[in-house]
Amino acid sequence: MIPLSRKLLLYVLVDPACPGGRSAVEQAHEAIRGGATAIQLRAKGIPAGKLAGIGSELAVLCRRHGRLFIVNDRLDAALACGADGVHLGTDDLPLEAARRIAPEGFVIGASAHDPGEAVEAERAGADYLGVGAVFPTQTKADVRATGLDGLRAVVLSTRLPCVGIGGITARTAPEVLRCGACGVAVHAAVAGAREVEAAAREFREFLDGKEASHA
C-alpha cells in the first residue's frame, strides 16, 4: 500500500468557481494528466446535493487513476460521494467529531498554521496536515504567511505528513520539500491556469528534480 505521504506530493485543489471556465472535473482530469497525485474538491457555498454530485464524478475519476480524492469541509458530502477523505480547516467541524463519524481508514486532513495547532490536530486524530499559507497568497489574503521557517517548525513538531500550501510555485516547490513537507498543495496556480495539465506537469518536474531539462 502506498503511504499517505507519497500520495500527497502534488495535491491540486479544484473548484467549480476557479477562473478559466473549466468544470471541477475537467480541472481534475487535466491536473491528473499532468501528474497530480491528489485532488481536493473545494466548493464553498454550493448546495450539498450538487457538491456530492461533482464529488461522485471526481471519486470515480481519481479511483480510476489511483489518485487520492478529498472533499473540503463537508464530511457528509465526502462520505456520500465515496471520497477517500475530508479536509477540515480551522472553522470546520471539530476533528474529534469527524473522527467519530467517519469509518475506519477514512483520511482526515487538518489545517495547521503553527506547531501548537499541529500538535493539537495530531492529538485529535488528523492523518495529515495542510500547513500555511507558506507564502503570501491571493486565495487567503487575510492570512499571514508562515514562511519556510514556519513550515519547518510545524514539520518538526509532528509525526504527521505535512503538505505546504499557499502561494507555492513550481520553482519554490522544491524548497517546500526541503523543509520536510511531503508535498505541495496548489489551487489557482494549477486549477486556474490557462493550461492546467502543463501547469501540473511543471510542478511535477520541479518536485521530481527533473526541471533541469527545461532550463
> Which positions lie near its own copies, rule CB under 8 A?
45, 47-50, 52, 73-77, 79-81, 90-94, 97-98, 100-101
Residue with cell 472553522: 91
- With respect to its own copies, which residue has the nearer C-beta, 53 or 174? 53
Beta-carbon contacts of 47 under 8 Å, excluding residues fewer than 6 positions away, are none
42 in active site: yes
Q: Of the residues 6, 63, 99, 140, which is catalytic?
A: 140
Alpha helices in the chain (DSSP H): 4-7, 24-34, 48-65, 75-81, 95-101, 115-124, 147-157, 173-178, 188-191, 196-207
- What is the 8-class DSSP label of residue 180? T
In the complex, least distance from residue 59 CB atom to its own copies, rounded to whole angstroms: 12
Backbone angles phi, psi at 69, to 5 degrees: -130, 125
- Using CA atoms, how far residue 153 sits from 116, 146, 158, 193, in Å, is 10, 10, 9, 31
- With respect to its own copies, which residue has the nearer C-beta, 82 or 180? 82
Which H or E element spans position 186? strand 183-186
In the complex, least distance from residue 165 CB atom to its own copies, rounded to whole angstroms: 19
- With respect to its own copies, which residue has the nearer C-beta, 110 or 189? 110
Q: Which three cell numbers stand for residue 41?
A: 474538491
- With respect to its own copies, which residue has the nearer C-beta, 104 or 149? 104
What whole-number distance in Å separates Cα of residue 40 and Cα of residue 68? 8
In the complex, least distance from residue 96 CB atom to its own copies, rounded to whole angstroms: 9
Backbone angles phi, psi at 16, to 5 degrees: -55, -25
In the complex, least distance from residue 25 CB atom to its own copies, rounded to whole angstroms: 18
Q: Of the residues 22, 42, 74, 152, which is catalytic?
A: 42
In the complex, least distance from residue 182 CB atom to its own copies, rounded to whole angstroms: 26
111 in active site: yes
Q: Of the residues 67, 111, 152, 201, which is catalytic?
A: 111
Give the residue numbers marked as catalytic: 42, 111, 140
